A and B are shown apart, each in its own frame.
Chain A
Amino acid sequence: MNDKHQDLVETMFPSDGSGIKPYEWMISPTRQRQWIDDKGIFLWLAFFFSEIGAGLYFMSLFYSFRPGIVLGWLITLVLGGVIHMLYLGNPKRAWRMIMKPNTSELSRGIWIIGVFALLGFLQIITPGGFNMVFNFIMGILCLLIISHGFATMNVIRALPAWNSTIVLPLSIISGIWVGHQLLQFMFALSGNALVVSGMEVWAATFFLIYFLCILLYAWGTWHTSGAAKASILKMLEGDLKRITYIGVGVLAILVPLVFTLIMWGGDTNGFLIFLRLASVCAGDLAIRYLIMKSAVYNPLI
């Protein structure tokens, strides 16, 4: 058997038993592949970068911190945007995605990102850019971008694990939480100890809400339907369990919890803030990966 033959066999009959077969297809909960496997991995990264960029921008608005909004704007548009393009089969036709905002969540997202790019640029270059009207509009746009990735997934009725009501709150709080951590780290780098210490109250609050949203997502999805339950089981028992226990259990929850307790009361430390940021980012990536990877379709028969 040569390499090409081996590749073909692996494509049609992968070792996980979910291959492209004309008969045993969709007769048991079947995993979605397009938005996580192969080039789909770009979509996972694109959603992550768009979210953390918008989260940083959002949090920076409360502190009128220009370097924060510049970096947030760049992460969202350059990293998020470019990686989105890498995912597409025909990126040259990407402009066509503005055509159907009436029904397509993806199309709505493109419009929101376009408006965010334009108004964000104006806010960055305008000397009095941090006024209430600008901040309010940009705040709304940031929240829409933070939730865009999960909103695109949330409207897919065929995948019960994505079609859960808690998906959107989870995505919004994760964006705000990661954005907050990035901003706190930027302030720590700039030596602004007073602000860093003051931000710690919000760090504890956001972490608690984030933790509750993760629990609610798991609990709610478990009780939604058989296919949704199968998704949670895949996270807990299947191939993904290491990512669940290390990525979510340790990096997203345990490590930030320990560091938050150590810095409780505003006794902050730049190195610990950096470690917590790294852990939070890795944990958020893990959660997104798990939600995208474990979603299964209901069997057809």
Chain B
Amino acid sequence: MPRWGMVIDVKRCIACWGCTIACKEEHFLPPGVFFNRVLIGESGKFPTSSKLIYPILCNHCSDAACVEACPTGATYVREDGIVAIDDEKCVGCRACMVSCPYQQRTYYDEKVKDREYFPGQGKTEMEIIGEKLYPFKLGTVIKCNFCTERLEDGMKKGLTPGKDEDATPACVNICPVNARVFGDLDDPNSEINRLIMEKKGKQLRKEFGTEPAVYYID
């Protein structure tokens, strides 16, 4: 069984927000909900300051704080390493949201559901279709799932995640500078492992001991 992970090259990222938008399209996310963000910050002081660009998504940690905190077992780590949410079990206590050091979860309630991309003008056809094609359950927590549906459908067709677009997360496919690489962390010969080894991939906020599956290289 593979363990899916991602490497993001922060030197390549040009902060085009393509990943953010592709993700919103893929999951029909309402306004104000982001499974993918591109954080822009600074380090140092003039004249030695530098700009930091960090694409952020759920880290699919193998020792995830959200999984520990969930009182119902709704949030769990799948065999393939993806941290998933069973919306039938989620009680909406938001312990997972509070405990996530990366703050990559969103509570889906009426307020979020009722948001319109063109406020006051009703939902567009796209938003209505989205709610049918990709329904979220009210009173539950939602987050990035590494495009599980694409992965599973693609693998059923014999495609390889990370290589074939139809089996690879939308944020990876859209990236115009190939800053994102998706693959199997348990395969020593995979491209993702080569990059982590050669470029000394770093995990974000490693001190929390959550063992993220998303690595950053520069």
Contacts and interface: CB of A to CB of B under 8 A. Distances in A.
B147 interface: no
Contacts of A20: 32-34
A5 B120 CA distance: 7
B41 interface: yes
Interface string A98-139: 011001111100100000000000000000000000000000
Contacts of A8: 31-32, 115-116, 119
Interface string B84-121: 00000111111101111111000101010001100110
Interface centre among A5, A89, A97, by most chain B C-beta atoms within 10 angstroms, is A89
A156 interface: yes
Residue in A2, A87, A158 with the greatest tally of chain B CB atoms within 10 Å: A158
Contact of A4 (B34, B54, B119): B119
Interface in B19-58: 20, 31-34, 36-41, 43, 52, 54, 56
B40 to A, nearest CB: 5
Which size bracket describes the interface of A in this complex?
35 or more
Nearest to A159: B98
Interface string B188-217: 000000000000000011001100000000
A27 B98 contact: no
B71 interface: yes
A158 B71 contact: no
Contacts of A103: 67-69
A264 interface: no
A89 B120 contact: no
Contact of A158 (B43, B74, B101): B101
Interface residues of B, number: 54
Interface stretch (A194-202, A216-224, A274-282, A292-300): A292-300
A205 interface: no
A93 B72 contact: yes
B92 A89 contact: yes
Interface string A1-26: 01111011001100000001111111
A208 interface: no
Given A23-B39, A25-B56, A89 B208 contact: no
Given A27-B39, A106-B93, A158-B208, A100 B71 contact: yes
A2 to B, nearest CB: 4
A157 to B, nearest CB: 6
A88 interface: yes
Contacts of B107: 34, 89
Contact of A156 (B67, B69, B91): B69
B15 to A, nearest CB: 8
B173 interface: no
A189 interface: no
Nearest to B10: A301
Q: Which of B100, B103, B111, B138 has the most CB of A within 10 A?
A: B103
B170 interface: no
Contact of B31 (A12, A27, A91, A105): A12
Nearest to A11: B32
A30 interface: yes
B6 to A, nearest CB: 16
A22 B204 contact: no
A152 interface: yes
Contact of A97 (B41, B93, B97): B93
Interface in B123-171: 138-140
Contact of B70 (A5, A24, A94, A100): A100
Contacts of B2: none
B71 A89 contact: no
Contacts of A110: 71
B73 interface: yes
Contacts of B100: 158
A32 interface: yes
Contact of B68 (A89, A91, A104, A300): A104
Contact of A89 (B20, B102, B139): B139
Contact of B138 (A22, A89, A297): A89
Contacts of A301: 39, 41, 43, 52, 54
A27 B91 CA distance: 30
B204 to A, nearest CB: 6
Given A8-B115, A94-B91, A96-B73, 12 more contacts: A22-B38, A34-B98, A35-B98, A40-B94, A89-B107, A90-B140, A103-B69, A104-B68, A106-B71, A156-B65, A158-B99, A300-B56
13 contacts: A4-B120, A8-B116, A12-B32, A22-B38, A89-B140, A96-B72, A96-B89, A106-B95, A107-B72, A110-B71, A155-B69, A158-B101, A298-B205
